[in-house]
Amino acid sequence: MKSLFTSGHRGCAGCCDAMVAKFTLMAAGEDCIIISPTGCLEVMSTPYPETSWEVPWVHSLFENAGAVASGVEAALKAMGNKGDTKVIALAGDGATLDIGMRSISGAFERGHDITYVCIDNEAYMNTGVQRSGATPFDASTTTSPAGKVSYGNPRPKKNMPAIMAAHGSPYIATTSLGYPRDMIKKIKKATEIEGPTYIHAHAPCTTGWGFDTSKTVEVAKLAVQTGLWPLYEMENGEVTKVRKIGKQKKPVEDYLKMQKRFKHLFKMEGGEEQLKLIQALADKNIEDFGLE
């Protein structure tokens, strides 16, 4: 299968954003238009006059992917060009959960026929790993650093899929780079359903999280296997499918200790208590989604 996201881009080796882009295009095929806001993906894939995109692609600003996607879809409809063309926003967690919230909310409330894929690498990577609304509890970032009186980011992740579900979206799914087939399947399904659909893709970033470039998939799998990143699908607001963890279930330490952003928890006084809090978050996910 020809890759519609070509090599030669400027992303780090093992880049999560590049992998999600590739899988998205494997799901969507050639008949699509991609909208990307400012972020690692945009910067590393389109250094003028080069481009990695073998499909039409547009970047406008950091906080407006939802609106730009709305406009693309409306234009195709108005001019009778919509056909089966899939309009897909491919955006970072900062561009989605934080600065682009108004724009994505408007686009979903209006009911445009678009698919929005959030590449959640849990921080603002493009600008040097600052915290975002998707940064997990106790992760050390450059704006939520661990320090003498800080264990890192003081709040858990914002529950973005729930927010999108509240907009009445017909299809929402979480997925992970640890499970490429799951990702491709869900993105394909999302693009085939009419209306605004949302995919939240957990995407470990080697540079920002601090792990070896060969470990992206392993780290991603552990997030799922610990229960910290539950995989599920929601149709018309109801959870219709979950990926059970079963016997694979791992303690959160297995996931956390692989990453530099959590290493303070294993050294600092009181770190053990923090690990318990994180385990409690995982346990709650397991219970809420029935992952056992």
Partner 1 sequence: MTVIRTLDKDKMDVAEGSYAVAHAVKVCRPNVISAYPITPQTHIVEDLSQFMADGKIPNCEYITVESEFSALSALVGSAAAGARCYSATTSQGLELMHEVLFNVSGMRLPIVMTIANRAVSAPINIWNDQQDSISQRDTGWIQMYAEDLQEISDMTAQAYKVAEDKDVMMPAMTCMDGFILSHVYEPVVLLEQDLVDEYLPAYEPEYSLDPKNPLTFGAFADPTVYTEFRYLQQQAMDNALPKIEEAANEFYEIFGRYYGGLIDEYETEDADIILMAMGSLVGTIRDVVDKLRAKGVKVGLLKVRTFRPFPAEAIKNVIKDAKVVVALDKNISLGLNEGSLFTETKASLYNTKVDVPIVGRMIGHGGRDIPEKTIEDIVEEAKGIISSGINTESKYADLKEELL
Q: Single out the residue of 20, 40, 245, 282 in contact with ligand TPP (rule: CB under 6 A).
A: 40
Distance of CA 175 to the CA centre of its chain: 8
By CB under 8 A, residue 101 contacts partner 1 = no
Specify the residue for token string 């093992």.
14
By CB under 6 A, residue 66 contacts ligand TPP = no
| 3-state SS record for 73-131 | HHHHHHCCCCCCCEEEEEEEHHHHHHCCHHHHHHHHHHCCCCEEEEEECCCECCCCCEC
Q: Single out the residue of 3, 13, 75, 159 in contact with partner 1 (rule: CB under 8 A).
A: 75
Contacting residues toward Mg ion, per CB under 5 A? 92-93, 121, 125
**Among candidate residues 91, 88, 83, the one with its CA nearest the CA of residue 115:** 88
Number of residues that bind ligand TPP (CB under 6 A): 18
Query: Which 50-89 positions form the footprint of ligand SF4 (CB under 6 A)?
Result: none
**Among candidate residues 4, 35, 31, the one with its CA nearest the CA of residue 85:** 31
Contact 99, 70 (CB under 8 A): no
Stretch touching ligand TPP by CB under 6 A, among 33-41, 47-55, 167-175, 232-240: 33-41
- Which residues of this protein are in contact with partner 1, per CB under 8 A? 30-33, 35, 42-43, 46-49, 51, 53-61, 63-64, 66-81, 85, 102-103, 105-106, 109-110
- Which residues of this protein are in contact with ligand TPP, per CB under 6 A? 17, 38-41, 62-63, 92-95, 119, 121, 124-127, 132
